[in-house]
Amino acid sequence: MKSDQQPQQRPDRRALLRLALGLGAAATVHLIAADPAATPLRPGGAPPAGGGAAGPPAQAGARPSAYRLQPMTDRTPPRFRRAAPPVRTRPLEELPDLGRSMVLSFDDGPDPRYTPGILATLRKHRVRAMFFVCGEMAVDNQDLLHEMADDGHVVANHSWSHPLIPGLSRAGIRDELGRTSDIVEKTLGEAPLWYRAPYGAWNRNSFEIGAALGMEPLAWTVDTLDWTAPGTGTIVRRVLDGAAPGVVVLSHDAGGDRSQSVAALRRYLPELLADGYRITVPHRM
């Protein structure tokens, strides 16, 4: 598992190396495939690109799309059970194999420059993903939170300002996670049930506080390292090379120029589907 840092955005924080993670603890987690029901595309074509949480809320002139996405399915996605004791000591890194299933996850958003482009591609292929949002981005882009939820994606917690969690007091961690859960709940009517530590830097306090807020910790298996802007082809290759049952893929929809991430998704998603993978989101029974 690689780094989630983004040096080009907030270099005082993003230059820090992420702490290494151990293997994820096993959990009773299931996967659901996106409903194949037909989904009408938005009139006028795909929305403009958008992204981010580790970056400034929105550049001058960048406007989030005003339309409201139609639900991807005609039924409500399964509800998640809130985290319960015992408190985890390691995050989940992958999810149990239920056939050829994978999870796509996007960190740091929402950003009106890149997030809409990612949502459009996911809608086109009728699949769901997980979005780990930062509160400081979510508060200024609540319409994008609605679009995520309306399409059946999982909106999860990635802290408020993307700090290095082990450097914070318990009160600081509670503020970072709690404020983000609050804005998600205020916007969508439900608090997030999953969270991811910035840089993948977890500690005991974060596990305990996350559990107290009813959230499970989810890391990743395949890191695209898209924050380094390695080129669209490189991102595509990393995803396809790392594809395997139960894999969780880490990408970003904010925190810098994420145009390569948007373009890469358009290429690797249809290839994964053609190869027989189900792109899923987790839910607990």
Residue 125: which pLDDT band, with cuts at 50, 70 and 90? very high
Domain covering 89-283: architecture: Alpha-Beta Barrel (3.20)
**Which residue in the block uniquely carries the two structure tokens 């924050």?**
227
The predicted pLDDT at position 95 comes to 80
Q: Is 252 a catalytic residue?
A: yes
Run of H or E residues at 281: strand 278-283
- 8 pLDDT exceeds 80? no
The predicted pLDDT at position 161 comes to 98
Asked if the bond preceding 282 is cis, omega within 30° of 0, the reply is no
Query: Average pLDDT, whole number, for the chain?
Result: 78
Q: Is 175 a catalytic residue?
A: no
Cβ contact 126:35 at 8 Å = yes
More confident residue, 181 or 86: 181
> Pairing relation of β-strands 30-33 and 278-283?
antiparallel
The predicted pLDDT at position 27 comes to 38
- 65 pLDDT exceeds 80? no
Tens digit of each residue's pLDDT (9 = 90 or more) over 178-218? 999 999 999 999 999 999 999 999 999 999 999 999 999 99
Tens digit of each residue's pLDDT (9 = 90 or more) over 211-252? 999 999 999 999 999 999 999 999 999 999 999 999 999 999
**Alpha helices by DSSP H, the chain:** 11-14, 115-124, 135-138, 142-150, 170-188, 204-212, 232-242, 259-274
The predicted pLDDT at position 283 comes to 67
The predicted pLDDT at position 99 comes to 75
CA angle 269, 270, 274 (to 5 degrees): 120
State the catalytic residue, choosing from 143, 226, 252, 253: 252
State the catalytic residue, choosing from 107, 111, 143, 223: 107
* Domain limits, the chain: 89-283
The predicted pLDDT at position 132 comes to 98
The predicted pLDDT at position 85 comes to 64
Q: What percent of the chain is predicted at pLDDT more than 90?
A: 66
Record the tokens describing residue 166, joined without a space.
């082990």
User: How would you label 89-121 residue by residue, b for 16+ Cβ within 10 Å and e otherwise?
Assistant: eebbbbbeeeeebbbbbbbbbbbbbbbbbbbbb
